[in-house]
Amino acid sequence: MNIQEKFNELKFKEELAFMPYIAAGDPDVETTVEILNTLIENGADIIELGMPFSDPIADGPTIQAASERALKAGMNTDVYFEICKKVNPKIPVIAMTYYNIILQYGLLRFAKKCKDSGIYGIIVPDLPVEESEPLLSACKKYNINLIFLVAQTTTPDRLEKILKHAEGFVYLVSLLGVTGAREEVDKTASELVLRVRKKTELPLCIGFGISNALHVEQLKLNSGVNGVIVGSAIVNIIGENLGDKEKMLFELKNFAGKMKDATKKKIVLKVHE
């Protein structure tokens, strides 16, 4: 199932896409496959699978640590593709990688390998839209969506360029504020969704700072977003339970279930008489 088909299915169900992120090979290949199966069995709609890199400039300390663990365990590009082949074909896989890895592998070779491995989209955070044409051409040849990032700092001109080339969905980088015990989503998240929604009908997914079901419920109620990408919260669970795989998988199961349930919550409007 490709990305568009998955979003169409979720739109019919009136659900947001729950898109967990993990670093492939963290803490090892066998455990990665078990983690992926656990996430999928408990509600993951799309998987964002990070390709570990020695200099992950766009990642915070939690995901950097995961990449280091994966690289120490022998992770490489070919092993990454083998992991992707083990994912349920009904679940689209999005590869998150850095442009240097793709260049070294070869653009067409990389795109073909993605196609052969069940990958339907690629996120390259260090590739500006202005320099994306060669990779876009390779992706189009193999029907791979190149996913672009839009932040609150993205200028109107740049947003227009991004949306001209965007496919699959638009990845919104939005800071979700956590203040005291209230843990409310920062209002700028909804403002960013609204701003981009005026310019495109593509699905919009928020992917920064989402760490609990309340965030998801608030986004569904207030923003009109189509999906949520959850990374550090999941990678934290992995990192905190490296010595106890059973506990790790149990906690991931519970977390994924709660997050997916939140994407299904119906919006109920209360009428005051």
Model pLDDT, residue 57: 60
For residue 237, what are its two tokens? 């669970």
Alpha helix (H) residue ranges in the chain: 3-13, 29-41, 61-72, 77-85, 99-105, 107-116, 133-141, 156-165, 187-197, 213-222, 232-240, 245-264
Q: What is the mean pLDDT of residues 218-240?
A: 90
Q: What is the mean pLDDT of residues 163-192?
A: 72
Query: Which of the four pLDDT bands, split at 50, 70 and 90, describes residue 61?
Result: confident
| Residue found by looking up tokens 């083998």 in the block | 82
State how far Cα 239 lies from the chain centre: 19
pLDDT tens for residues 115-165?
999 999 999 999 999 999 999 999 999 999 999 999 988 999 999 999 999
Model pLDDT, residue 37: 96
Model pLDDT, residue 113: 97
Model pLDDT, residue 270: 44
Query: Which of the four pLDDT bands, split at 50, 70 and 90, describes residue 182?
Result: very low
Model pLDDT, residue 207: 86
- Residue 65, exposed/middle/buried by CB under 10 A (0-12, 13-18, 19+)? middle
**Catalytic residue positions, numbered:** 48, 59
CATH architecture of 3-264: Alpha-Beta Barrel (3.20)
pLDDT tens for residues 73-94?
888 999 999 999 999 889 999 9
For residue 48, what are its two tokens? 């964002």
Query: Which of the four pLDDT bands, split at 50, 70 and 90, describes residue 180?
Result: very low
For the chain, the first-to-last Cα distance in angstroms comes to: 46
| Average pLDDT in the chain | 89
Highest mean pLDDT among 71-75, 111-115, 153-157, 210-214: 111-115
